[in-house]
Structure 1
Amino acid sequence: MFASRKLVEKALGEVKKKFVGVVSAKLPADGMEYDLVQYRCRNLFDNTVIGGKYSRASLCVDTIRALQPHLRDETQELQAVCEAAATLEIIQSFYLIADDIMDNSETRRGKQCWFRREGVGMSAINDAFIMDSFVEDILRLALPGHVNLDRLCEAYRKSKQKTLIGQFLDTSSVNQISSFTWDRYELMVENKTSHYTVFHPLQMALIISDVLAYHGAVKKAAYQIGFLFQSQDDFLDVYGDPTITGKIGTDIQDGKCTWLAVRALQKMHSTPQKSAHLITDFKQSFGSSDPEKIEKIKKIYNELQLREEFRRTNIEMPTSLQHSKPRVSYYYDGDFGNFYYGQGHPMKPHRVRMTHSLIVNYGLYRALNVMRPARASFYEMTRYHSDDYINFLRQVKSDNISTLTDQMTRFSVGEDCPVFDGMYEFCQLSCGGSLAAAAQLNRKESDIAINWMGGLHHAKKSEASGFCYSNDIVLAILELLKVHKRVLYIDIDVHHGDGVEEAFYTTDRVMTVSFHKHGEYFPGTGDLKDVGAGHGKYYALNVPLRDGVDDFTYERIFQTVMGEVMARFQPEAVVLQCGADSLAGDRLGVFNLTTYGHGKCVEYMKSFNVPLLLVGGGGYTIRNVSRCWVYETSIALNLDVADDLPVNDYFEYFIPDYKLHIKPLTTLINFNTPEFIDQTIVSLLENLKQLPHVPSVQMHPTSISSDAVVKTFDQSLRRDHQNDDIRESRFDEDVRVENSSEFYDAREPTSRNTQSNKRQRNMNTAEVEGFKKTRIGEEDDV
């Protein structure tokens, strides 16, 4: 910070010249007024900008240098960004001049306030406006032609709006003791202090460095730091030494809503009988300039031990910031996109590779724990599926279909679930990702785990169905049940999650909730009356919807139902199947959701702070699938992503607008009338009322072994898979965490087996018509 301060001090000399120049340039250079304005601007700059701590500008410069380590001292490029950062000190002076006038302050930075200087007075208001008005001009002079210059100026304008709103909340709270609540205080601090003191300098650094993917997470942490900063300022106003702080405290006599005042009232009101006399004294004395009453307020603070409490908070809060960012694991194998169901088939595993490319090029991978999962073993897959079924999947190949016709009929393989090269390996990867993700949650090493390769919810115990051969979701839930008493499964695919519901139809430890199109539509199950059986009665919840459901309707029914489910079932872990065929314009779907509406479901379930596993699912307009899943990855990370898609390996797929978010179809009618939705909600809530209780399960400790944790990345598991005859085992290769350099902005490394999964046969028209869903386009869609 010291080195950056020196750079800011040097930059301020140039910024001063620019400030004086752009203001005086509005007047004729040969006039007396020109010299007068130049003199006033220099004096204003020297007495209000120069001499501060420069903490905001230094924070910005430090962040830029961290993001752009190639910048070297004494270079023109570094000088330019330092000048841009130094404008933060002009902005700071603009606010301080106005703040001092409103507070009627005496000193600032150990000197007489600007408005109290001889010959200044209330004209200081105009001086403040001048400083504000020319900030953008200086930014444009400092960074001419910068790619994000307009974004930088817009960030300043938004920061100013928030700060002025915060100032309004601050001044309107004066002596309004009844409004001194934590909600008011936190809102005031967020707008008045956190945004412009912490977030805006960091935001400027991100924009100048052209790093646009982290704003959401940075904002969250910045607001917490800003709260700490403001609370310290409130504390020092009462207990600080003016010779050190450079400011005489006036918050008590000004009747300000501060950390000390809000906490004092909270503590007094928590014991009203015991603190009645303190409450009376506080109301009579707070906001008075009488020295005796000021001292009485300080005695109340001391009696309530606020000084000691604040010091404890000051130590504990920075520690809590370390956990403000969700821990998110992401499972991906580069080979997954090679698998190919066959010509004309709507299921395209390539969509997962497209999603991964967007994750890389948005820079989201930097905030993820990127893992390459081990392939699920035969034993792991037969925890749910029958041995003979998995044996069949392992044995069947394109060239031996004719010898296995009876088994193909028995296991429903051949029509919408065709045999293709690498089919068994495809199942291994899908299941391996979900099993590893569940194990990661079990070990509490992540808050959220993501496997976009999974979500194949139609597969049955001994039967393929609806493009799904193995049910990775069921396997993941069984893994979660080893540690968690109750697991909630939610399905937002346009098709009913029949395979998962069937697997847990008779248990009360797993609740399944499916939002889907019902009627003459695959798979034909998922009626409102299907509620489970035996111990699992009322633990299966089905939400049948009609064509054309939009964001507003979906959000209303989803949040109403899931809020009640979370309250009644109280799950310890949640699995959310994010099938993207519920999006508008899907080749096989009939819903009209945008990526925003779909993502709202992820955002809502994430808000419960329960371990969350996100898996993929359906989705057959693959450009929209990748849009949806990268957006939901950003939601999991609390990161904002730009609507303009970054250049990526599949950029041409996103013509014509190259945008992240999709729009609803104006031609699709929403047949889900308010009356239908109301009636459905009533029926669903009635079903939920039938839940007898939250199931209480006797849990037994589970040993951490390959049997219990499913090929995760524990070193101790290697002995179960090690082949001592080779230098590096297949298990080592499968579970290796990809080096971060594999995910940089260059093109994806060439896959190891790019041709191994090509189709061996063409599908005729009759086969295409036999697919599980009824609307297949004539050509492959992207």
Structure 2
Amino acid sequence: MAEVTNVIETTTNLNVKLCSIYSRLKSEILQDSVFNFVDNDHQWINRMLDCNIPGGKLNRGLSVVDCFKLLKGGKELEDDELLLACSLDLCIEWLQSYFQVLFDIMDGYHTRRGQPCWFKDSNVGLKAANDRFILRIHIPRILRRHFKGKLYYIDLLDLFNEIEFQTVSGQMLDLITTQEGEKDLSKYKLPIYRRIVQFKTGYYSFYLPVACALLMSGENLDNFTSVRNILVEMGTYLQVEDDYLDCFGDPEVIGKIGKDIEDFKCSWMIVQALEQANEDQTKILYENYGKSNDACVAKVKTVYKDLNLQDIFSQYKKASNDQLISQIKSQPSKVVQELLKSLFAKIYKTQVINLDP
């Protein structure tokens, strides 16, 4: 019990530190002379940042500090190290918010984190399209202010640029696969789904925080391709779980209203259903998937239940669990094993993972 209490206290203290540094970074942004032309410039930017950046679970950002501490052998970070690690935490949260504002507009979502999406605010609307650029451009400005002069500064810039390219490429594949007017379920195969997920989710959600910590530790990312692949697989699992919850999850719990069926999304659920369905079930899926009609959605979900996709998801989760544990064990560095083990435990809601042979 004492150990659990210590973890909670550590996480709480770190959240407080992140909030403090977020306020500092926001203040630096608001002091930029570009926002002095109109009286309400500051009010708009301040509200836009507060509505889009805080409020999440901070899993991506908190991973930077956790991973950096592990790479330092578990030692507590010095004040300057903590400032830099938390600044990278928040750069990742800025990137996440940029993606969310952008993708919510494209995907037509209504809620995010239990609140209306930014573009759904009656005073915002499609002005959110420009706000997403404001969010994006803050990242290199934060990096320049706090990391210029560090040996890994250019590598950080390259890393964030590459991750953005991979993520929006995944979004592009997602969009053109589900393009309105060209609905074709025959395209929804597992290889296409995996490629969308790996690029749209895996790299920025899991690889980016660890890569930031590695760069801060003076490591060359070219030496960690196997670690990158493991982290991307973790991201794939998380997206599969998200697809499952989009259909069967409680909106009050997951913070958004699932619309994958109505939006003709290439989700894990429809891919698995098409692989398992008989001729009659396939016909029902073709006739009803992608229609914004409660009766059509209900018919698709009935097929999902008849195919026992809940059980298939449980089997997938176990298989993914076993595969990742095996890959983590194969890492030659014990420090890297512990780092991956920590992230694995967060994803799979697992308290203890035995990596011993």
State the TM-score, normalized to the length of structure 1.
0.40
Contact 1:16/1:42 (8 A) holds in 2: no
Which residue number in structure 2 is paired with residue 291 of structure 1? Answer: 294
Which residue number in structure 2 is paired with residue 748 of structure 1? Answer: none
Partner of residue 61 from structure 1, selected from 47, 51, 65: 65
Which residue number in structure 1 is paired with residue 137 of structure 2? Answer: 133
The reply to whether residue 177 of structure 1 matches residue 180 of structure 2 is: no
The reply to whether residue 197 of structure 1 matches residue 200 of structure 2 is: no
Letter in 2 for 1:232: E
Counterpart Cα distance in 2 of 1:109 and 1:188: 23
Contact 1:166/1:187 (8 A) holds in 2: yes
The reply to whether residue 96 of structure 1 matches residue 103 of structure 2 is: no
SS in 1 for 2:172: helix
Which has a greater percent of helix?
2
Contact 2:35/2:41 (8 A) holds in 1: no
Counterpart Cα distance in 1 of 2:28 and 2:125: 24
Counterpart Cα distance in 2 of 1:23 and 1:307: 48
Greater relative contact order (Cα < 8 A, sep 6+): 2
Which residue number in structure 2 is paired with residue 77 of structure 1? Answer: 81
Which residue number in structure 2 is paired with residue 27 of structure 1? Answer: 34
Counterpart Cα distance in 2 of 1:307 and 1:285: 20
Which residue number in structure 2 is paired with residue 242 of structure 1? Answer: 251
Contact 2:69/2:77 (8 A) holds in 1: no
Counterpart Cα distance in 2 of 1:210 and 1:108: 36
Change (3 A) 1:28 1:111: closer
The RMSD of aligned alpha carbons is 2.2
Counterpart Cα distance in 1 of 2:177 and 2:243: 15
The reply to whether residue 49 of structure 1 matches residue 53 of structure 2 is: yes
Task: Compute the displacement of 1:19 (Å).
Answer: 3.7
Contact 2:214/2:220 (8 A) holds in 1: yes
Contact 1:195/1:226 (8 A) holds in 2: yes
Post-superposition Cα deviations, 1:45-72, rounded to whole Å, max 9, x if no partner, equal: 1111111010100112110110124753
- Return 213-222 or 226-235, whichever deviates more: 213-222
SS in 1 for 2:40: helix
Change (3 A) 1:16 1:166: farther
Rg larger in 1 or in 2?
Answer: 1
- Return 319-328 or 239-248, whichever deviates more: 319-328
Which residue number in structure 1 is paired with residue 166 of structure 2? Answer: 162
Contact 1:24/1:37 (8 A) holds in 2: no
Counterpart Cα distance in 2 of 1:303 and 1:27: 58
- Count matched residues: 323
Which residue number in structure 2 is paired with residue 309 of structure 1? Answer: 312
Post-superposition Cα deviations, 1:689-720, rounded to whole Å, max 9, x if no partner, equal: xxxxxxxxxxxxxxxxxxxxxxxxxxxxxxxx
Counterpart Cα distance in 2 of 1:64 and 1:74: 12
Contact 2:119/2:127 (8 A) holds in 1: yes
Gaps of 5+ in 1: 269-274, 329-364, 368-782
Contact 2:91/2:139 (8 A) holds in 1: yes
Alignment of 1:602-641 (within 5 A): none
Counterpart Cα distance in 1 of 2:144 and 2:49: 19
SS in 1 for 2:257: coil
Which residue number in structure 1 is paired with residue 14 of structure 2? Answer: 7
Task: Compute the displacement of 1:20 (Å).
Answer: 4.8
Task: Compute the displacement of 1:6 (Å).
Answer: 4.1
Contact 1:84/1:142 (8 A) holds in 2: no
Task: Compute the displacement of 1:74 (Å).
Answer: 7.1
Contact 2:18/2:86 (8 A) holds in 1: yes
Counterpart Cα distance in 2 of 1:38 and 1:138: 18
SS in 1 for 2:164: helix
Which residue number in structure 1 is paired with residue 345 of structure 2? Answer: none
Which has a greater percent of strand?
1
Counterpart Cα distance in 2 of 1:151 and 1:58: 21
Task: Compute the displacement of 1:314 (Å).
Answer: 1.3
Task: Compute the displacement of 1:262 (Å).
Answer: 0.5
Change (3 A) 1:259 1:176: same
Counterpart Cα distance in 2 of 1:145 and 1:70: 26
Task: Compute the displacement of 1:120 (Å).
Answer: 0.3
Which residue number in structure 2 is paired with residue 280 of structure 1? Answer: 283
Task: Compute the displacement of 1:171 (Å).
Answer: 1.2
Contact 1:20/1:38 (8 A) holds in 2: no
Counterpart Cα distance in 1 of 2:177 and 2:119: 24
Gaps of 5+ in 2: 1-6, 335-357
Change (3 A) 1:267 1:319: same
Identical-pair percentage:
27
Post-superposition Cα deviations, 1:471-522, rounded to whole Å, max 9, x if no partner, equal: xxxxxxxxxxxxxxxxxxxxxxxxxxxxxxxxxxxxxxxxxxxxxxxxxxxx
Post-superposition Cα deviations, 1:297-353, rounded to whole Å, max 9, x if no partner, equal: 00000111101110121122112112226859xxxxxxxxxxxxxxxxxxxxxxxxx
Counterpart Cα distance in 1 of 2:215 and 2:69: 13
